[in-house]
Structure 1
Amino acid sequence: MSSSADGTTSRQHMEDKDVSTENYVVLKKKITLLRGISFITGTVIGGGIFISSKGILENTGSVGLALTIWVVCGIVSFFGAMSYAELGTCIKKSGGHYTYILEAYGPLLAFLRIWVEIIIIRPGVTALVSLAIGRYVLEPLFVPCQVPEIAVKLISAISLLLVMYINSTSVTWTVRLQNTMTVIKLLAMLGIIAPGLYYIASGHVDKLQGPFLPTKMEPMRLPLAIFYGLFPYAGWFYLNFITEEVENPNKNIPRAISISMGIVIVLYVTINVAYCAVLTPDEILSSDAVAVLYGERLFGKIFIIVPIVVALSCVGSLNGGTFAIARTFFVASREGHLPEIISMIHIEKLTPLPAVIVLAPLALIMIFIGDIGKLINFFSFARWLLNGLAVSAVIYLRYKKPALHRPFKVPLYMPVIFSLTCFITVLLSLYSEPWSGGIGCMITLTGVPVYYLFIVRKGNMHRVLLAMGRITKTLQKLLKVIPQEITTY
């Protein structure tokens, strides 16, 4: 919390926007427009593009419908991203989904968002991307044999811990890693796409003929296809998680989001066209690493480069996601919805160290017990329900707070289409996959008693508060962290 029990505060509020943060323990504004573009692009393009091709085709039954899903999900994600551009320019706090739900709908729904984020969504996403790194690193070393699962999980765990170490040590090095991975993955994507397009231009279009035939899709599998389609685009919201660290957010947030999403949509659609031109649907469905099979078919012996590049791409996604979600936990703690230690900053490195490492235990558990397909199904319900709710805050605030200063505005059809897509898909998924959806629903609702017991009534839990206070002080000394010294919003 920002103030002490007697109402006094040791922190300065930045009423004067010219106040320098140079001499304070605070998260600095280091995200320029170029870094914002790199941050979004490098985070969005990750394991999802190499994982979801199989899942979308499996749930649509035809190449044509699968490619349609890629385009539609790209457009829907763009609408959600531009809606977030408006929210990011009129609400100056970091935190993304959590902050917007808090501002629009109040603390209970905001707490449910952060609750489900910290116990299922974020550990699941982190484990998913980490597992992709492990699989693509080892895949070429074991061809034609099956990769041992324990080896995949060990490499995945090591990758996660390395990324968390860098995020804990230096914001500058985290940003440099992100920029490097973004350049590598963009060059790699172009290197993967170009031979595929040349293959098509050379007249090899037989696999693209009659793209909608034969269709085997069951209508109630469409929600799963959409979940798989939205998953690789997820990441468009990450810049809003770090709003307080963006230079000139009124201009840089909308520009970075629109440019990044344009790049991502074009790359995603074209790479899937290339996949479908080179590989048969059965080959795509039979492979757990589509990009590796594609590379082997086109590049022959040098195909080993493809999985290495894919793994590096996933490292960039994992790094950007870790950087962003730590800021959400940081803000939630600052609002009193997570333990106070999580809102503290390392006094020398100026990183939100506790917020970075808080996910490690659950993410590692999911890495060692999780399966990629099951993980996607497991957290999709809660994730897209709450994403739709966060974007709907644009509509709610337009009518609830019409006088709110909005440096950037989007047409209302954008948040409407995105939110409705999320809500309708979630409802259909409950019907088609009641077990996965039901588990997601129950886990989300477990946050209600937790909220009333530990947030609303925590003032009556004197012994618990005293114990927590002692634990917090001990962790402060151990981790060398203190609360931020001035507000940044």
Structure 2
Amino acid sequence: MENASENVKSEIETKEQAVFLRKKISLFRAISLLIGTIIGSGIFISPKGVLINSGNVGTSLVIWLACGILSMFGALSYAELGTSIKKSGGHYIYLLETLGPLPAFVRLWSEFIVIRPAITAFVGLSFGRYIVEPFFAPCQAPVLAVKLLTAVGVSLVVYVNSCSVNWTARIQIILTFSKLMALGLIIVPGMMALAQGRNENFQNAFNSSSVTLDRIPLAFYSGMFAYSGWFYMNFLTEEMINPERNIPLAIISSLIIITILYLLANVAYYTVLTADEVLASGAVAVTFGDRTLEGFSSVIQILVALSCLGAITGGLFAASRVFFVASRENQWPALFSMIHIRHHTPLPAVLLMYPLIILMIFIGDLYGLLNLNSFPRWLFMGLVTFGLIRHRYTHPDLHRPFKVPIIIPGIFTVMCLFIVVTSLYSDPINTGIGCALTLSGVPVYYLIVCQPQRPAMCRKALYLFTVKLQMLMKVVQQEIVTY
């Protein structure tokens, strides 16, 4: 009996000392991570993008609601995938399991070369602008100052993600409350003004002469960008406590809360500001704060900046797991499936995206980065939900703890592909660049990933280089299987 208890104790101690990604994401942390990641710069900047492309106030509000419903359809589909396919990795692992290695690798490649650097740079530049502009008001802030501060903020986020999962989760909870405070400072004054009868900006809200159908897909891009992030929980499946229960609960509850908040925030904007004032504003939330909070408008700027920082934190936290899983699946260099021996974080995968993010911060502009990123992101979301439909028929006996009606992934797939195709017509330059960068992953896959045997000299050089970096970063392969 004593030997048995000693063996159990020894096994527990061995597991505590082992290097692997621990299950540290509870339901509360999951909801905080999702809300904190979804509410980034989008609701504070995207209203202008939605309005300018939708043509009028009424259509823009309909698009905000439609984006929320469409996001919910996608979220429900991903919840089914997350509870039936137990691996982390989100889009990548679902494409690998449902449509095969080529689409999975191209999605991985686009995450590395386009999606993650562009989206992080976009949100980061929003952070930099909101922090710097108060110091130069009423003049415009120097572009270089905004970019330098953005680079500092992103560097800080990368450092925290590299050091601790617990600290990343705690910081995300704090930043989530700052986002909700920022939205509260917009919604409450707006609803008070509406209650006082200020509804003149909603008269003739559906002016059909101002609507151009070819611009509607770009309006959806801006709106869907503000909702994007509901899929990040699927990147962390192996680190979730009780994923079969908590993934659907976290995704659904977070999206319901955010859809309501976004609609209220937009109604508040248009109650206080005219459509022309929204279009003329470089940062809608700041213009709103100047009008309603007078001397306290800088509070909104600080809270919005913290909101952007939270979105970057959650995005990098989740995206690093994609490269970690891809390396484990032998589609990415082995170094990126290694974990820090003390911090238990996928350090190489976290650091991988840093150089390209910094590059895009210094060469990119806000709306160009948004459209550049949107093509591959929504293309592959549509392919993932199409893969779910296919997976239903190829694996009919697979246990699915959470299952949605087939019409839901069907509608989401059609809408994603429709938006992607029509956007090539609406903004051919940025969308075309995003398309070309995405498709560049196809030759990379066949030239590098599919090579059955590399020359011995190349293998030896790669092995030595990996060992050197492994020693420098103090990382090792995961010692316990977590899926």
Q: 2:104 aligns with which of 110, 113, 125?
A: 110
Does structure 2 retain, via aligned residues, the 8 Å contact 1:60–1:215? Answer: no
Corresponding residue SS for 1:459: coil
Q: Of residues 160, 163, 171 in structure 2, which corresponds to 1:166?
A: 160
Contact 1:21 1:28 in 2 (8 A): no
| Residue in 1 that maps onto 2:91 | 97
Range that drifts further, 384-393 or 240-249: 384-393
Counterparts of 2:452 and 2:40, CA distance in 1: 40
Corresponding residue for residue 7 of structure 2: none
Q: Structure 1's 53 and 20: CA in aligned 2 closer, same or farther, altered over 3 A?
A: farther
Distance 1:239 1:116 in 2: 20
Match of 1:182 in 2: 176
Q: Percent identity?
A: 52
CA distance in 1, matches of 2:456, 2:213: 54
Q: Which moved more, 1:86-95 or 1:445-454?
A: 445-454
Does the CA-based 8 Å contact 2:278-2:284 persist in structure 1?
Answer: yes
1:56·1:66 contact (CA, 8 Å) conserved in 2? yes
1:344 aligns with 2:338: yes
Where does 1:52-451 land on structure 2 (aligned, <5 Å)?
52-213=46-207, 215-451=209-445
Q: Kindly provide the amino acid, as one letter, of the partner of residue 50 in structure 1.
A: F
Distance 1:93 1:260 in 2: 22
1:437 Cα deviation after fit: 2.5
Deviates more, 1:408-417 or 1:85-94: 408-417
What secondary structure sits across from 2:210 in the alignment?
coil
* Cα distance between partner residues in 2 of 1:83 and 1:444: 24
| 1:29-66 residue CA offsets vs partner (Å, 9 max, x unmatched) | 00111111111111000111112111110101100001
Q: Which amino acid letter does the alignment assign opposite residue 118 of structure 2?
A: G
**1:445-486 CA distance string (max 9 Å, x none):** 211111111111152333222211111000000000001001
- Give the TM-score normalised by the residue count of structure 2: 0.96
Deviation of 1:378 (Å):
1.2
Deviation for aligned residue 1:19: 11
Could you tell me how far apart the structure 2 residues matched to 1:310 and 1:214 are?
33
- Structure 2 unaligned blocks of 5 or more: 1-11
* 1:187 maps to amino acid: M
RMSD: 1.3
Question: Where does residue 3 of structure 1 map in the other structure?
Answer: none
User: 1:435 Cα shift?
Assistant: 2.3
> Secondary structure of 1:407's partner?
coil
Alpha-carbon offset, residue 188 of structure 1: 2.4
For 2:205 and 2:455, locate their aligned partners in 1 and report how far apart those are by CA, in whole Å. Answer: 63
Question: 2-side partners of 1:20 and 1:372: how far apart?
Answer: 49
What amino acid is aligned across from residue 119 of structure 2 in structure 1?
V
In structure 1, the gaps of 5 or more residues are 1-17
Query: Is the contact made by 1:430 and 1:437 (CA closer than 8 Å) also made in structure 2?
Result: yes
Instruction: Report the AA paired with residue 241 of structure 1.
Output: F
Q: Does structure 2 retain, via aligned residues, the 8 Å contact 1:391–1:419?
A: yes
Structure 2 distance, partners of 1:185, 1:62, is: 27
Q: Call closer, same or farther: CA 1:175–1:417 in 2, change over 3 Å.
A: same
Structure 1 residue identity aligned to 2:426? S
Corresponding position of 1:33? 27
